[in-house]
Amino acid sequence: MAELAIIFVSALLISNFTLAMFLGLCPFLGVSKQIPTALRMGAADIFVLTLTSVCAWALNTYVLPHAPYLRLITFIIVIASLVQIVEMVIKKLSPTLFRELGIYLPLITTNCAVLGLAMFQTNRGYGLIEGLVFAVGAGLGLTLALVMMASLRETLDLADVPKVAQGTALVFLVAGCLSLAFMGFAGLLSAG
């Protein structure tokens, strides 16, 4: 149990996917303008990450021991088809949710956080439960970073920023400060 808690906290805060490992930066820059869209993107992320974790575990356990060199190719195909299937299912079951998620669902295929999750899970040898906890922690961490960034950017819109710094450069500098704050969580585990 304690181990699972460590995996969760470490994925959520200490090695936050966006702020400490630079995974999923594209949505972090692209859809962090408003809090509602950031929340929706985060929800889609958590969903796909959890499914990917289960798939990656199943592949690692039943298929890939015979051909480990095919891991990358298998993972990317499975992730791409998974997102496609999820999209179709959601469209069929809940058109409202489908409209809400919009473009963000297909975009997740090219989100390096998803492939990164599968690779990290493999490299660290997580089992099914550990993988699930890791995926949920990582997804929540992504959502946390997205929402924090969105709330900062909503405020920044009202600020008087020099013209030269407007746009991506400013977002990166703000992200640096956030990342700096998250570095503080590194002491969490050794202290506890």
Which residues here bind another protein, judged by CB under 8 A? 19-26, 29, 69-73, 76-77, 80, 110-112, 115-116, 119-120, 123, 163-165, 167-173, 175-177, 179-180, 182-183
Closest to another protein by CB, 43 vs 76, is 76
Distance CA 52, CA 102 (A): 20
Residue 12 CB neighbour total at 10 angstroms: 21
Distance CA 136, CA 49 (A): 7
Closest to another protein by CB, 19 vs 38, is 19
Nearest approach, Cβ of residue 13 and another protein (Å)? 13
Closest to another protein by CB, 94 vs 110, is 110
Q: φ, ψ for residue 19 (rounded to 5)?
A: -85, -20
SS3 19: coil
Q: Which amino acid is at 103?
A: I
Residue 128 CB neighbour total at 10 angstroms: 12
Closest to another protein by CB, 109 vs 151, is 109
Task: Report H helices in 60-110.
Answer: 71-93, 95-101, 104-107
Nearest approach, Cβ of residue 159 and another protein (Å)? 16
Nearest approach, Cβ of residue 176 and another protein (Å)? 3
Closest to another protein by CB, 62 vs 69, is 69
Specify the DSSP element, H or E, that contains 145: helix 128-156
